[in-house]
Chain A
Amino acid sequence: MILLVTLAVPLAGALLLLLPGARFLPGDAAVRRYGVAVSGVTLLLALVTAAVFDHGEPHRMQQGVDWAWAPAIDLRFHLGVDGVSLPLVVLTALLTFLCFVHMVRHPPSGGPARLLTALVLVLEVGMLGTFLALDLLLFFVFFEVVLIPMYVVIALWGGAGRRAAAYKFILYTLLGSGVLLVGLLLVAVNAGTLDMVALAERHGGGLSRGVQITAFVLIGLGLAVKVPMWPLHTWLPDAHTEAPTVGSVLLAGVLLKMGTYGFVRIALPVAPEGAQVWAPWLGLLAVIGIVYGALACLAQRDLKRLIAYSSVGHMGFVLLGIATLTPVGVNAALFGNIAHGLITGLLFFLAGAVKERYGTGDLAALGGGMLTSAPRLAAFLTFASVASLGLPGLAGFWGEMLALLGAYRPDGGLPRETFVTFMAVGALGAVLTAAYFLRLLARVTHGPVAEDRRDAVLPAPTSSEYAAWVPLVILTLLVGLWPKLLLDLTTAPVRTLLGGG
C-alpha cells in the first residue's frame, strides 16, 4: 500500500494545483514551499519503503499491489519493489525533492511557478511509476507519462533554442516508445501474460527464438533512445543544454535510468535468447558511445553541453555492463545508474549555478580562476568532476570498473574475444573521460581570473543551493566508500532476473 501512497501523494499534489490560484496557495512563494512539502512527503515515503524493505530477501517483490484495471486487455495495476528498483525509487524521490528545494531560491524564469510545480510533480509520478510497475503495459503507461511534462518544462523554461530542443526530445522519445510498445505487446501476446514477475521467472519460456530476437530488438531500440545509446543520442545534448536546471537534473538523473532499468527489468529476463543474439551489437554500440562521448566532450565549448555528452559516455558503460549478460556486468550497470544519477545531478545543479552567476556556460567566456573568484562553487565543481571521471573511492568508480570487469568475462554464450576488445576500448574511453574533465577543471577552476571579471563579485552559494548539493556529495562519498550498500541490494535480484538461481 505504501507504494500506492508514494504515487498518490505527488499526483494529488499536482491535481490540487488545478484549483484556482486566487483561493489555493496564492503567490509563487507559497507554491514553491508547497512543492517542497509534497516532494518531501514523497521522499519520506520512499525512505519508509526502504526502511521496511526486507533486506534479507531483496530478490523478492515486496509491498505488492495487484489490482485488475482493464481486464479486456489483461492490464493490471501491479506494483512492487525489489532490490533493483528500490535504489532508483529513492534516487528519484531524492532528486525531485532537491530540485524543489533548489527552486525555492532559484526559480527558473519562463512561466508560472504553479505550472512548473505541477509538471514536476506529474513527472515524479511517471518516474516513480516506471520503476514500480510490474505489468508491461502499466510500465509503458508510466513511461509515457513523463513525456508531456518534460516537453513543457523544456519548451517554457528552457534556454534560447528551447522549442527545437523540446520537439526533438519528445519526437525522439515517442518514436522510441512506439517501438517499445510493439515489442512489449509482441511479448505479451505470445506469452499470454503482462506480468513482469511471471515473465521473468519463465526466462523466455513459451517464446520462440524468433519472437525473442524480434522482441529484444524492438524493446531494446525503444529503450535505447531513452538511455540514450549511440547513435540514437542526438536529442540528448540539445535537451540537456536547453532545459532549465531542474529539467536537466531530472533528465540526466532519472529519465535516462528508465531506459537502462527497462533493459534489466524487461529485455534481459523476458527474451534471454534474443539478448544472446544482440548482446555483441549492444556492447559494440555501448563502447562506441563511450569513446564518442569522451571525444565529443573534448570538443565542447559549453559547460552544460559537455556534461550532457559525458552522460552519453557514462550510459555507454552502463550499457556495456548490461551487454555482458553476467551478474557482475548487470550489477555494474545498476550501480552505474545510481552513481550517474547522483553525480550528474550534482553536475547539472552546479552548471546551473555557474550559469546563474556568470551569465554564460561558455567555457571560453567563463575564463579561469574560479577557485579564486568563487572558491566554494569551484570546490563543489572539482569534487563532482573528479567523481564523474571515476576516481576510486567515489561513486563513479565502481560502476565503470565493474562494467569493464564484466566485459573481461562475459556470459558463456558470448564471444569472449569481442568483449575483451570492448573492454580495452572502454578502458581507453575511461582515460579520455579523465582527460576532458581535467581539461575542464584546468580551464575553469584553475588559472588566472579573466581580466574583465577581476572586479566582479560572485555571490556565494545560497542555503538552498547547499541544501541541494550537500546530500548528493555525501551520497557520492558514501556509495563510493561503501559500495556493498548498493551491491547487496542488487546482487540477489540480478541473479533471479538472469536465471542464475
Chain B
Amino acid sequence: MIQSIDYAAIAPPLIVAVAAIALLLADAFGASRRVLGLVSLGAVGAALVTVIALALGDRRATFCLTGDLRGNGPPSCSYVTDDFTLIFQGVVLAAALVVVLLSLEEITAAGARLPAGEFHFLLLAAIAGALTLVAARDLVLLVVALETLSLPVFALVALRRYDGVASEAALKLFLVSVISTAVMLFGISLLYGVTGAMHLDRVAPALGRVPGDLEPVAAVGVVMVLAGFAFKVAAVPFHFWAPDVYQGAPLPVTAFLSVVSKAAGFAGLTIVVALGLPAYGHVWGPVLGVLAAVTMTLGNLVALRQRSAIRLLAWSSIAQSGYMLAPLAVGDERLPEAVAATVAYVAIYSVMNIGAFAVVIGFRRRAGAPAAGPAPSWDTLDDYRGLARRNPATAAAMAFFLICLAGLPPGVMGLFAKIVVFRATVAGGATWLAVVMAVNTVIALYYYLAWAARLFAAPSGAAEPPRMPRGAAVRAAIGAAAAGAVVLSVAPQLVLQAAAAIT
C-alpha cells in the first residue's frame, strides 16, 4: 500500500528544502555570496507565490491513511493545506523574506566573517521546518517539523564562532530546547498510550472516551505537550533563553526567532490544542491562562528595565506571546473564536515586530563594523535620540511600529489585534485574564512610548551618532514592513476576516 503524494500541496516546503540543499552544494563549488543570497531570496519568494496560488484553490490534504489502515475512521491526513495552514505559511514566508533581505548585507558585506552558504542553508532548512509545522496534523509530523525548525536555529545562533556571547546563547538555547522536546515527547507517548492514535483527528475523539482511571495520565500528557510549545513561543517559564539568544545571535537570526519561529510555534500549539485536545480544554485552558498572565506580566515588567534596544524587543516579544496565548485560555468554550483571535494577533504581530527589528538591525549595523561582532556602543535606547533629525522616514516608521505594538491609534492594526484578543478572552469567560491584559498594555505603553519619544528627542552626547544605512536591502525590508503596517492599519479587517474564515 503506497501513499500517493500531492506535490502541489507540499510545494512550499519542498521548494525551500530543495533550494536549501542546492545552496549548500553551490557554496561548496564556490558560488559568490551575492548569488547565494539572491537564490535564497528567490526560493522564499517562489514559495510565497505558491502559497498564494494554493490559497486560490481548494483545500488539499496529503499523506493520508490508506484504505484498510483507515478503517471507518476520519480521513487522517498528516499534511493538510487549509486556510489555517495557508495563512501561517504566508506569514512565515513573508517574514522570512524580510529576514533574508535583512541578512543580505550582513552576509555579503566585504569582510563579513559569517559563512554565507551555511547561513542560507540553515535558514532555509528552518523555514522548511516552519512551513511543515503549520501544515502538520499528526503528532509525529509535528515533532519532526518542530525539530527541523529548531536544530538549524542552534547552529544559526552559534554561527559567529569567534564570539563568546553567541556560543553561550546557542548552548543555552540548545539545552532548554532539548529538555522541552524531551518533555513533549514524553507527553506524546502518554497521549499515544491512552488513545492509541497519532493523527489529531483520531486523538480528539479518543480523548473524549478515555476511561476514568486513565484520565490523569491523559491530563499529564496534555500538559507535557504544551510545555514543548511553550518553549518555542518563549512563554514563561520557558523564556530564559530568549533575551540572551536575541542579544547573542546575528540580528537577522534574532528577527527570525522572534517572528518566524514564534509564529510557527503558535501555529503548532493552536493545531494541537484545537484539533487534538479539545476534550481536555478544562486542563489546558487554565494552564494556558496562567501561563499567559505570567508571561505578559513578567515580560513587560522586565522590559521596563531594559536599556538595550535588542533586549527590550526580546522581553517585549515575550510579553506579546502572553497576549497571543490569552485567547486559548478559554479552553473548549468558543474555541474557534479564540483560534481566530490568536491567528489574527500572530499575523499582525509579525508585521509590526519584523518592522521594529528591521530598523534596529539597520541602525546597529551601521554603527559597528559590519558583522564584526556586536557593537554594544550603539545599542542602548539613548542612542536612538535624534534619529528623527537624521532619518525622518526611518524614525517615523519605527515610531509607527512601536505605537502599533502598544496598540494605540494611529497604529490601528495593533489596536484591532488587541481588541480581538480581548474579545475572544472575554467571550470565553476569562474576564480576569482580560483585566490582567488591560493592566499589561499600560506597562507596555510606557516603554514603547519612551523609545518612540527618544527618536524625536534632541541627540545626546558629543559622539557623532550613526546614520542609517544606505543599503537597499535593509531599506526595502523597512519599507515593506511599513507598507504592510500602514495597509493593515487602514484596513485591519483584511486580517480579521481571513482569520475568522479559517474556522
Contact = CB atoms under 8 A, between A and B. Distances in A.
Q: Is the interface of A mostly helix, strand, loop or mixed?
A: helix
A189 interface: yes
Interface stretch (B142-150, B238-246, B423-431): B423-431
Interface in B405-457: 408-410, 412, 415-416, 418-420, 422-423, 426-427, 431, 434-435, 437-439, 441-442, 445-446, 449, 453
A485 B420 CA distance: 42
Nearest to A115: B456
A69 interface: yes
A145 B409 contact: yes
Contacts of B442: 171, 174-175, 178
B497 A70 contact: yes
B405 to A, nearest CB: 13
A70 B446 contact: no
B437 A178 contact: yes
A151 B442 CA distance: 14
A383 interface: no
A174 B431 contact: no
Contacts of B431: 182, 186, 214
Nearest to B453: A155
Given A70-B416, A72-B500, A140-B419, A185 B434 contact: yes
Contacts of A189: 423, 426-427
Contacts of A144: 408-409, 415
Nearest to B409: A145
A71 interface: yes
Given A181-B419, A185-B426, A186-B431, A170 B449 contact: yes
A170 B493 contact: no
Q: Is the interface of B mostly helix, strand, loop or mixed?
A: helix
Contacts of A70: 416, 492-493, 496-497
Interface in B387-412: 403, 408-410, 412
Contact of A71 (B410, B415, B497): B497
B438 A175 contact: yes
B438 A73 contact: no
A73 B419 contact: yes
Contacts of B403: 148
Contacts of B493: 69-72, 75
A186 B426 contact: yes
B441 A148 contact: no
Contact of A72 (B340, B409, B410, B438): B340
A37 interface: no
A73 B427 contact: no
B492 A171 contact: no
Contacts of B445: 170-171, 174
B-side interface size class: 20 to 34
B267 to A, nearest CB: 19
A70 to B, nearest CB: 4
A137 interface: yes
Interface residues of A, number: 33
Interface string A166-202: 0100110011001101100110110000000000000
Nearest to B450: A167
Given A148-B408, A214-B431, A174 B453 contact: no
A155 B457 CA distance: 11
B271 interface: no
Contacts of B418: 181
B499 interface: yes
Given A70-B497, A155-B453, A174 B408 contact: yes
Interface string B244-276: 000000000000000000000000000000000
A298 interface: no
Interface string A134-160: 000100110011011001000100000
Contacts of A218: 435
Contacts of A188: 423
A221 B104 CA distance: 51
Interface in A225-274: none
A147 B419 CA distance: 17
B163 to A, nearest CB: 37
Interface string A69-97: 11111010000000000000000000000
A400 B349 CA distance: 48
A122 B446 CA distance: 22
Contacts of B500: 71-73
A72 B501 CA distance: 8
A373 to B, nearest CB: 38
Name, among B412, B446, B453, B499, the residue most crowded by chain A CB atoms within 10 Å (CB to CB): B453
A126 B340 CA distance: 29
B422 A148 contact: no
A275 to B, nearest CB: 19
A72 B347 CA distance: 15
Nearest to B433: A182
Interface string A2-45: 00000000000000000000000000000000000000000000
Contacts of A178: 437-439, 441-442
11 contacts: A70-B493, A71-B500, A72-B340, A72-B497, A126-B409, A144-B409, A171-B445, A171-B446, A175-B439, A182-B435, A185-B423
Given A147-B409, A175-B439, 6 more contacts: A70-B492, A71-B493, A144-B409, A148-B409, A179-B435, A189-B423
Interface of A: 69-73, 75, 122, 126, 137, 140-141, 144-145, 147-148, 151, 155, 163, 167, 170-171, 174-175, 178-179, 181-182, 185-186, 188-189, 214, 218
Q: Which 5 pairs across A and B sit closest by C-beta, in order of nearness?
A: A178-B438, A72-B500, A70-B493, A189-B427, A72-B496
